Copies of this chain bind each other. A is one copy, B any other.
Amino acid sequence: MAYQLWYWTGIPGRGEFVRVVLEAGGVAYVDCAREKGDEALVKDMAKRRPEPFAPPYLVTGDLVIAQTANILDWLGRKHGLAPKNEAGRRACAQYQLTIADMVAETHDTHHPVASGLYYQDQKKEATRRAEDFRTNRMPKFLSYFARALGKNDWLVGDRWTYADTSLFVLVDGLRFAFPKRMKAVEADLPALHDHLKRVAALPEFSDYLVSDRRLPFGKGIFRYYPELDAD
């Protein structure tokens, strides 16, 4: 039975981290809201137990799994998309949760006051927050992931895991949102560039990347506002 994935239509958002591992792992799923619309999502979510606080969530049989890291840990264990040994699984979860932390901080560069307000209404605050993000947070997080990779092909173990597809989305999204800054930061961190290319070349995943199932960045977490970017 194919998984039901529920996530907002129109933005890659946090749903993308689930979508990419399902795609790269060749796991069957239905992207429900893209077939039925966001109103159907809201209705569906309200009746699920445990009720998700927000999308994405995954439904399989009687099981409802919400929160991205929770979904990925489930898929990792169930479909061999994380190591079988405990240390490897915990390492994957650790990287995933750190990626999620950086994703939240990325979002807050353009929405530092309230996610319910327009960017234009918090532009001044965004300028300050983005400056700190570029100067302090980007090098700190990204050099951490480069160290975690070291000379290895993958973050954990000797084959790709969901931590790798998640790092792909993060780095790819940051390149979209902060092209100047990423060029400067990545110049010192070749491991990130090599890793991105390696993930993009995974057979099932490279198909996805050029398919219309993939939504472009621009809305949601990773947005390009030239005034928030700098070397």
Contact = CB atoms under 8 A, between A and B. Distances in A.
Interface of A: 50-53, 62-67, 69-70, 73-74, 86-87, 90-91, 93-95, 97-98, 101, 104, 108, 112-114, 116-117, 122, 125, 128-129, 132, 136, 141, 144, 147-148, 156
A74 B90 CA distance: 8
Given A53-B98, A97-B70, A148-B51, A132 B117 contact: yes
Nearest to A88: B50
B148 A50 contact: yes
Contact of A128 (B52, B113, B147): B113
A203 to B, nearest CB: 27
Contact of A67 (B94, B122, B136): B94
B132 A114 contact: yes
23 contacts: A50-B95, A51-B148, A53-B94, A53-B101, A53-B141, A62-B87, A67-B98, A69-B93, A69-B97, A70-B90, A70-B93, A73-B73, A73-B93, A101-B104, A108-B108, A108-B112, A112-B112, A112-B113, A112-B129, A113-B128, A113-B132, A114-B129, A125-B125
